Amino acid sequence: MISEPELADEDGGAPRPPDRSETYVVGDDDVSRRRNARALSPRGVRWLWALGGALAASAVWAGGLYAYDRTGADLRGYRISEDLCLDADLSALSELLGGKRSPQPAVEEQRAIDRSFCDVTMMRGRPREVKDDALPSSYSSVVVNYTLHKETDPAPEFDATLTPLAHSRIVDRKTKRIPELGERAYLMTDSAGYTPELKVLDGRAVFSIEVRSEYVAEGPHGTGPPAKPERVDPDALELALVEDMKTLMAAVKK
């Protein structure tokens, strides 16, 4: 019976095949041999590759978070308005409602949101002199708001907050979609088509321009009967609002 040839020892005969566990031994103890053998086994190699892949994926994920934190949300070039009464030119509305007077701006900058506000009076002609002891019979208040959301997306809530709550002085409101203005734009008016408010969503920026008509009593210190309201064509107001809104949106971009 022929048996398998035995491997020769180190003193002679054919060279002995290298022991995989001994080739990478660091140290002379048996524990080092066993650890190296396990590390170089196919299972150990697969485990090292899996560990390396997980570490690489974690590094990419962390790098993505760092890049997002550094750059923030895409604001589409919109910036904070330090003085909204300057950025909101409102020249189209001024042609209809009269010259701008007593602008009152306000601004607040926070980590998550920037808010700017402007309230301006528009009045036709020159106001009566003080010696006449009388007030103007009518004027308009134009209120402009601009909000820049830097951390949250306002889109899901935009449509839901168009109309005022029930306790508002104007409850019955009509809503009209305005095309080709920002992402979404709506014009709200009362039942007669007056007191318009134009609201626009464009990415993280939300704008609104509202026109409120004010009337006072005639006579000394407003003691006489109320003046007859002078109405402005609602279609002309709509066109003026859209034109002034486009100018404002362009003004607050970098």
**Of the ranges 67-76, 182-191, 210-219, which is most confident?**
182-191
pLDDT digits (tens, 9 = 90+) for 161-206: 887 765 555 557 789 999 999 999 999 998 776 789 999 999 999 9
What percentage of the chain exceeds 70 in pLDDT? 57
Boundaries of every domain in the chain: 20-71, 84-251
What percentage of the chain exceeds 90 in pLDDT? 45
Residue 131's pLDDT is what? 42
pLDDT category, 65, cuts 50, 70, 90? very low
Q: What is the helix (H) or strand (E) element at residue 176, kind and residue range?
A: strand 173-177
- Which of helix, strand or coil describes residue 142? strand
pLDDT category, 73, cuts 50, 70, 90? confident
CA torsion sign for 231, 234, 238, 239 is: negative
> Which of residues 147 and 5 earns the better pLDDT score?
147
CA torsion sign for 219, 222, 223, 226 is: positive
- Which of helix, strand or coil describes residue 52? helix
By mean pLDDT, which of 96-110, 155-169, 224-238 is the weakest? 224-238
DSSP characters over 103-114: EEEEEEE-SSEE
Average pLDDT for 121-136: 60
Q: Quick one: 230 exposed, middle or buried, by C-beta within 10 A (0-12, 13-18, 19+)?
A: exposed
Best CA proximity match to 168, nearest among 203, 212, 131, 128? 212
Average pLDDT of the chain to the nearest whole number = 75
Average pLDDT for 53-64: 49
CA torsion sign for 147, 153, 159, 160 is: negative
Q: Residue 14 pLDDT > 60, yes or no?
A: no
Q: Quick one: 32 exposed, middle or buried, by C-beta within 10 A (0-12, 13-18, 19+)?
A: middle
Cβ count within 10 A of residue 159: 13
Cα–Cα distances in angstroms (integers) from residue 15 to residues 12, 18, 21, 104, 170, in the given order: 8, 9, 17, 97, 101
Rounded Cα distance, 179 and 246, in Å: 12
Residue 83's pLDDT is what? 96
Q: Are strands 197-202 and 99-109 parallel, antiparallel or unpaired?
A: unpaired
Residue 89's pLDDT is what? 94
Best CA proximity match to 72, nearest among 147, 155, 152, 146? 152
Residue 67's pLDDT is what? 40
List, in order, residues 6 or more apart from 87 with CB less than 8 Å away: 81, 116, 146, 248, 251, 252
Which pair of tokens denotes residue 3?
């048996």
pLDDT category, 64, cuts 50, 70, 90? very low
pTM above 0.75, yes or no: no
pLDDT digits (tens, 9 = 90+) for 17-55: 555 444 444 445 554 555 555 544 555 545 444 445 554
Residue 194's pLDDT is what? 74
pLDDT category, 133, cuts 50, 70, 90? very low
